[in-house]
Amino acid sequence: MLHATYHQFGNPAEVITLENTPQATLADGEIHVRILAAPINPADINFIQGTYGIRPELPCTPGIEGCGEIIESRAENFHPGDKVVFLDRANTWAEEVICSAETALKIPSATPVEQAAMLKVNPVTAWAMLTSFENLPKGSWIIQNAANSGVGVCVIQIAKLLGLRTINLVRREELIPELLDLGSDIVLLDNAESITHLKETLNNELPTLALNAVGGDSALRLMDALAPKGIHVTYGAMSMRSLKAPNKFLIFKNIQLHGFWCTEWMKEKTNTEIETVFQQLAQWMITDGLHQNIDSRFKLTAIKSAVIRAQETRRNGKVLITTNAAPE
């Protein structure tokens, strides 16, 4: 089976190689899956660089998430032709994988393959942050930075489906129309003037939940925009700058600071709870058009070009690895 792999940590374009290994024998409880599509996430790049929160054993085939079709099964309730996504890191940068059925989840056959391949990380992160920290009444405001990111666009769409209103901060003015078309209620440039204007406009309806993917000054602007006792959740650090909370936000506004890591969130949930979330998100992909933009598609044989593109700025969406079996 053809798969990408790396034997040492480093620059993905330099350490990634393609290898062919003999197909393993399927054991009881396992499924043999043809990978249809798999995205390149920032966490995948960090895994290869050796800078992620955990380090895999080497050699390693990358791939946190993906969508595939079962070729062969020795697991109850899993059958050839079933469409699946993966709950654990399944090494999906490959033509085929063999894994325990316990680490896979069947999804409706009508789920768009490429969107299903991106279901596990960004949509689940967005849904969990919107629902885990506070029971927000319909009509509540939330605010986020990096609103054009993969998680950001999922937050906008899922919040709308949950009856919530979003304030979305971006760095470039040309991003505003696209996010408004996506369903944003307010889109502003991420600067101090925007926060001042927002506070004057909303007055007593300030957001009670802020989602921070940037850190640094942008994170402080989210705190400034929050209502008293608001919840500030950090799930990323795009600016590579630490979050230093001014005393006034903690003392006089009683802001609550939280961190979020989807991997740990999933560990704390039962299989039934996780399956319920995945099935809801898949259904929204089918019926309500929940989606993430796709910047480009690369065959597995062009993996070096794919990881180079995935690290470039000004992309409009995710880079996908596809196979000949994937639908156009």
Instruction: Return the CATH number at 104.
Output: 3.90.180.10
Cα 131-286-36 angle, rounded to 5 deg: 100
The sign of the CA dihedral 286, 292, 296, 299 is: negative
Do 85 and 65 form a contact (C-beta atoms < 8 A)?
yes
Instruction: Determine the 3-state secondary structure of 162 from DSSP.
Output: coil
Q: Which tens digits make up the pLDDT trace of 158-216? A: 999 999 999 999 999 999 999 999 999 999 999 999 999 999 999 889 999 999 999 99
Active site residue 52: yes
Please report, for residues 30, 67, 197, the alpha-carbon distance to residue 213 in angstroms, rounded to integers and kept in the order given: 37, 26, 22
135 and 226 inside one domain: yes
Q: Print the domain residue range for 239.
A: 122-263
Query: What pairing do the DSSP bridges indicate for beta strands 165-170 and 141-144?
Result: parallel
> What's the mean per-residue pLDDT of the chain?
94
Burial 258-297 (b: 16+ CB within 10 A, else e): eebebeebbeeeeeeebeebbeebbebbbeeebbbebbbb
> Can you give the CATH number for the domain in which 153 is found?
3.40.50.720
Give 311's Cβ-side CA count (13 Å radius): 15
Do 20 and 2 form a contact (C-beta atoms < 8 A)?
yes
141 and 258 inside one domain: yes
- What is the number of domains present in the chain? 2
Top pLDDT among 129 and 24 is at 129
Final residue belonging to a domain, choices 263, 284, 309: 263
Final residue belonging to a domain, choices 242, 263, 284: 263
pLDDT at 99: 95
d(CA 234, CA 207): 16
130 and 243 inside one domain: yes
Of 13, 15, 45, 52, which is the active-site residue? 52
- Res 149 pLDDT > 70: yes
